Amino acid sequence: MRFTNGYWMTRPEFDMSYATQVYQVKNDDRTLEVLAATRAVNGNKGITLNMPTLTVRLSSPMEGVICVDITHFKGARMPGPRFDINRASLAADIKDQPDAWVFTSGDLQAVVKKEGWQVDFISRGELLTSSQYHGMAHAFNKETGKAYMVDSLMLDVGEWVYGLGEYFTPYLKNGQTVDIWNADGGTASEQAYKTVPFYMTNRGYGVLVDDTADVSFEVASEKVERVQFSVPGENLRYYIIAGPRPKQVMARYTALTGRPALPPAWSFGLWLSTSFTTDYDEGTVTHFIDGMLERDIPLSVFHFDCHWMRGLHWTDFVWDPATFPDPEGMLKRYHDKGVKICVWINPYIAQAGDLFDEGMEKGYFIKKTDGGVWQSDLWQAGMAIVDFTNPAACQWYAGHLERLLAMGVDTFKTDFGERIPVKDVVYHDGSDPLRMHNWYSFLYNQVVFDTIKKVRGEGQAIVFARSATAGGQRFPAHWGGDCSATYVSMAETLRGGLSLAHCGFAFWSHDISGFEQTAPAHIYKRWTAFGMLSSHSRLHGSSSYRVPWLFDEESVQVLRHFTKLKCRLMPYLFQGAVEAHEQGVPLLRPMMMEFPEDLTAQMLDRQYMLGQNLLVAPVFKESGEVEYYLPKGAWTRFHDGQMVRGGSWHKEKHGFMSLPLMARPGSVIPLGSVDTRPDYDYLDHVGLHVFALEDGREASVTIPALDGSPAAAFTFRRAGDTLNIATTSEKPYEVFLHNMPGVTINQ
């Protein structure tokens, strides 16, 4: 939201009251409270009349994180919901110095200057950012009577801003206006399914605005030297999160908002869908499952999209008897083939469905202010929306999920959750509809995820979610929504995934070959490589099936190759998943997260790191031509073992069976002995591939068990032409050396 007209003037509809001077300070061992005058008082008590003030309260929930809480009217109603985050208040080091008050938490300081108005945030002696002149403010719209709280933080020369959710707009957010408002807008618009009021920059810090409302960000746009953020109401709370490295920022951010659960290993395999508007029955599904098995393409999960239920009945959790007369028997037959089952759901209850009357009578739906049920014909005729602030409604909804789980369903695709009304509606717990709009996605996915965990047990829960906000990363996995069958859309999808990774979402997928339209075979094959080298991999579309033999025979070969490669990579990928679960670092991560000092890596949006040691550059051209950048060092092509020197751009041409998949210098990448499924004993006959380990250097790798615990560890130390190995493994393994000529192994 913009409050100014250029640099000098305020928009005529706004009265702005800016923090101008420190007037009074209070402190204890945990908080520093500053009363900020909005005029320069300078000892003239008469100026304090008719003058708004801002109360600025500094606290710390954990080391290296400072909470800034700004209030105009303390007595104003502060409606919920709020994010479910750690709001502890730790003891802090607070000092009254001659020219400033200094609040210190770990390696992060907030320095409040005593003259004028300026709050500097400093880490390890380096200025990260600051709130300065005409930054912190209360804004009042004289035309609408609405109030807003505002602050803006300075940007340095060459500072880039990342994150704010799964936005498909340019990866670098500088110059953009971003409104945190979940919407069903596809991947080709400025809207986003997953919006998160958190950003990080390449200067080693992050900022979380603690408000579930439609936080508005002006990212080097209204004021090109600042990131401005504003919220409706009389209070603004945000957190400065220090690094200094991006992965450290991410670790602290996810400690604040929640770490991702560890998905079950089987979920990392290939998912195949019926697609959306296609007609299908048990025969169709069986044909596809058997077709994959006959073609030696490992299939882990089969997904039934909307039409497993009757038309106009979504969502009532009842199998359509005309097409699925024996659902329990059918699901058992699929389980016997080694395939898990996912079914599509959403939180919208159609009027014609079996559950509508009960939900209406018992008050399980969002209501209108006149006491009736809020309804719409947009999507399903007469549909209502489940009110997840009502514990009884949550139990009711979960009960139907438990019935399906008992029948043999393993997981759910939690679609939608963005089209949540805000006008003239009432929630069971009195939540503010504006602040519930984004937060609804959290409650919805939490109910489904927790129900699966309750029935299936710890470590077996996963959803396939589209909508989310801050904290939603706790309930993996998420997918990128409705993309088109083009290379342009494939690239915008990756941009969305990279931006979401900056917000703590560790497990992310997308519709291979695009959701809308049907891709030509060359796009299907290129997108297959990208999709199978993502954390989760799904073939799904709109009006046509996505089995490979409907494209061409080579598509079968490509899908087989990359699916089997992913199965063999599972010791590496699953350990990356464990790292995400324990430390909050995403599995598919932006280049700048691994190489923050590399100026080129800071700007890359067409390649990524899959875990710590594999670089992936999808091919976005029919010709197979691809340009990618390698940071410094001796990288190794994974598919042919050739060394490629980093520190520069490279241009190559690839067939459909390869793409730039590069092993990081000095890394160890374990390859499993099984290529037919993703869940197996990763330690048994594991192959340990050591890449360009330099003399005097050490590299290590941990092989996980299926519950995420360490099964064994290996450490490699190079001393001249000898590679020494230390391990806790008692099982057979094999070591392969790449780009280490003349080196022999000492086990």
What's the distance, Cα to Cα, between the start and end of the chain in Å? 63
Quick one: three-class SS letters along 468-520? ECCCHHHCCCEECCCCECCHHHHHHHHHHHHHHHCCCCCCEECECCCCECCCC
Q: Which of 120, 410, 415, 516 is catalytic?
A: 415
Q: Smallest Cα–Cα separation from 452: which of 555, 341, 375, 536?
A: 341
CA distances to 353, 569, 649, 673, 717 from 685, in Å: 52, 13, 37, 6, 21
CB 713 within 8 A of CB 700: yes
Helices (H), 70-211: none
Q: Smallest Cα–Cα separation from 646: which of 631, 666, 664?
A: 631
Q: Which of 418, 516, 579, 675 is catalytic?
A: 418
Q: Are strands 270-273 and 301-304 parallel, antiparallel or unpaired?
A: parallel
What is the rounded (10 degree) CA torsion for 382, 186, 284, 292?
A: -150
Compute how many other C-beta atoms are within 10 angstroms of the C-beta atom of residue 57.
15
Indicate if 336 belongs to the active site: no
**Residues constituting the chain:** 747
Amino acid at the residue 390: N
Strand order in the sheet with 698-704: 698-704, 710-719, 722-727, 744-746
Angle at 453 between CA 451 and CA 457, to 5 degrees: 135
Distance CA 679, CA 410 (A): 15
Angle at 479 between CA 476 and CA 484, to 5 degrees: 180
- Residue 177's Cβ-side half-sphere holds a number of Cα atoms within 13 Å equal to 8
Report CA 657 to chain centroid distance, whole Å.
29
Q: Smallest Cα–Cα separation from 555: which of 513, 514, 597?
A: 513
Indicate if 679 belongs to the active site: no
Q: Which of 184, 222, 410, 482 is catalytic?
A: 482
Angle at 537 between CA 636 and CA 290, to 5 degrees: 115
Distance CA 616, CA 593 (A): 14
What is the rounded (10 degree) CA torsion for 699, 705, 710, 713?
A: -30
CA distances to 1, 142, 230 from 4, in Å: 9, 14, 13
Angle at 189 between CA 188 and CA 194, to 5 degrees: 100
Residue 74 gets the label, from left (phi > 0), alpha (psi -120 to 50) or beta, of alpha
CB 19 within 8 A of CB 71: no
Amino acid at the residue 747: Q
What is the rounded (10 degree) CA torsion for 281, 285, 287, 290?
A: -150
Task: Report residue 685 as tokens.
Answer: 């006959």
Task: Report residue 631 as tokens.
Answer: 């940071």
CB 691 within 8 A of CB 641: no
Residue 480 gets the label, from left (phi > 0), alpha (psi -120 to 50) or beta, of alpha
Indicate if 553 belongs to the active site: no
Which residues, 6 or more positions from 708, have their beta carbon under 8 angstroms from its beta carbon? 262, 459, 574, 577, 578, 581
Angle at 109 between CA 105 and CA 115, to 5 degrees: 140
Residue 641 gets the label, from left (phi > 0), alpha (psi -120 to 50) or beta, of left
Q: Are strands 508-509 and 478-479 parallel, antiparallel or unpaired?
A: parallel
Residues tagged active-site: 415, 418, 482
